[in-house]
Chain A
Amino acid sequence: MEIGLGTYLALAAVLFGIGALGFLTRRNMLLQLMSIEIMLNSVNLTLVAFNRWNPASHDGQVFAFFVIAVAAAEAAVGLAILISLFRLKKSVESDRADLLRH
């Protein structure tokens, strides 16, 4: 079996699909945030894999570094919103956040 660029891209596509599936099928906001992290990780994998086949520069790894930094900030704010929602509704279901619906 020849492991090349396509193998990494295929693995990243499968991981992104798993993350998207989790985000769309779970109602628990914690699980949705974890699914977002899985999707960001899979995109990071594509960036690093493309950088491996263009080793003249480090652009892909630098980009992945910034994605990791933004993901950390996003997780912190998302979990703060989750705690706020839990205080208001005593639940972590994203469907319970329906103030704008009524």
Chain B
Amino acid sequence: MSTSGELLFLICGFAATIAAVLTVTMRNPLRSAIALLVHVISLAGLYLTLHAHLLAAIQLIVYAGAIVVLFVFVIMLIGPGAMEHRSDTRGWVMKTIGGGLIVLFAGAITFSVGEATAPDVAIPTCDGSDPTCREFGSVEAVSSAIYQQAAVPFELVSMLLLVAIIAAIGTARGRTAAQKDEADPVEARRMALRPFASDPTAPSLNPAKISTVVGQGPLHPLEGGSEPEDHEHE
């Protein structure tokens, strides 16, 4: 490994470890999410030291661009409830026992594999003479490996993501909207647009409550009716 690779490994390794510790110790979930973002970016740097360029890009796009943003979105959606005001950690006895066991486990693995040496394998490079040659870890190489050896699992992943999307919608929609669905589909759609339908104190998107236009009926939020923004005859 080159000197610059070692430097990148050291920087990214320390950053990933420190960010992981901050993620699990911060009291504010939003700060934990930011620490998780630093963690996944550091892991993308570690993938770069391992010649996995496509995976580093996928890590940045999927983790930093989708999963961490989803966490931040949910934290902002549930608002102050995400922050536990009382002590939200376990009792100190359980914490000490569990922490000691995990530190022992990780330390044992670290000391047993840390000295493990594998013969240094040179990454095969392409000199341009062979047109079918692919650089190790490049987009062409990894994608051809996926499509030639794992085409069926790749298609099954698309099914899995579709099922996950439907399940997430159905779970987050809640029971109240589903019950309304049988009685009144229009009202059910309106409930689905409201973040906390069962909470009467929550701000609602009900147009009958927020419509300030005099002389017009309440607009359905899905009909896309644009209310006149300013009244000049006042």
Q: Are A21 and B102 in contact (CB under 8 A)?
A: yes
Compute how far the CA of A24 lies from the CA of B105 in the bound complex, rounded to whole angstroms: 14
| Residue in B closest to A82 when the chains form the complex, CB atoms | B74
CB distance from A66 to the nearest CB of B (A): 6
Known: A73-B164, A79-B168, A92-B81. Is A41-B43 also a contact (CB below 8 A)? yes
On chain B, the residues within 8 Å of A57 by CB distance are 145
Within 8 A of B (CB), among A13-48: 13-22, 24-28, 30-31, 33-35, 37-38, 41, 44-45, 48
| A79 to B169 Cα, complex, angstroms | 11
Write out the residue numbers on chain A whose beta carbons fall within 8 Å of the beta carbon of B205. none
For the residues of B in contact with A, the DSSP-based class is: helix
User: In the assembled complex, which residues on chain A have CB atoms less than 8 Å from the CB atom of B82?
Assistant: 28, 30, 92
Answer whether A41 and B39 are a contact pair too, CB < 8 Å, given A34-B32, A73-B160, A79-B74. Answer: yes
User: A2 CA to B43 CA in the complex, in Å?
Assistant: 20
Q: Which residues of A contact B150 (CB under 8 A)?
A: 62, 66
Shortest Cβ distance from A52 into B: residue: B50
Say if the beta carbon of A97 comes within 8 Å of chain B: no
Flag if A34 contacts B23 (CB, 8 Å).
Answer: yes
Task: Write out the residue numbers on chain B whose beta carbons fall within 8 Å of the beta carbon of A5.
Answer: 116-118
Query: Does residue B20 face the partner (Cβ distance < 8 Å to A)?
Result: yes
Q: How many of B's residues come within 8 Å of A, CB to CB? A: 89
Given the contacts A38-B23, A48-B52, A53-B121, A72 and B113 also touching, CB distance less than 8 Å: no
Query: B86 → chain A, closest Cβ, in Å?
Result: 10
The answer to whether A65 and B146 touch across the interface, beta carbons within 8 angstroms, is yes
Complex CA gap A5/B157 in Å reads: 30
In the docked arrangement, what's the CA distance between A44 and B165, Å? 23
Q: By DSSP majority rule, is chain A's interface helix, strand, loop, or mixed?
A: helix
Q: B154: shortest Cβ distance to chain A, in Å?
A: 8
In the bound complex, residues from chain B placing their C-beta under 8 Å from that of A59 are: 145, 149
Q: Taking A13-B106, A80-B168 as contacts, is the C-beta distance between A55 and B81 under 8 angstroms?
A: no
> Looking at the complex, which one of A18, A70, A79 makes contact with B71 (CB distance below 8 Å)?
A79
Hey, which bits of chain B sit against chain A, CB under 8 A?
Answer: 1, 5-6, 9, 13, 16-17, 20-21, 23-25, 29, 32-33, 36, 39-40, 43, 46-47, 50-52, 54-55, 58-59, 62-63, 66-67, 70-71, 74-75, 77-78, 81-82, 84, 88-90, 94-95, 98-99, 102-103, 105-106, 109-110, 113-121, 123-124, 136-137, 141-142, 145-146, 149-150, 153, 157, 160-161, 163-165, 167-169, 171-172, 174, 196, 198-199
User: Given A17-B106, A34-B32, A52-B121, 19 other A-B contacts at CB below 8 A?
Assistant: A11-B17, A14-B110, A17-B102, A21-B24, A21-B98, A24-B102, A28-B88, A37-B63, A38-B36, A38-B39, A41-B43, A51-B50, A55-B51, A61-B145, A62-B149, A80-B171, A86-B81, A87-B174, A92-B84
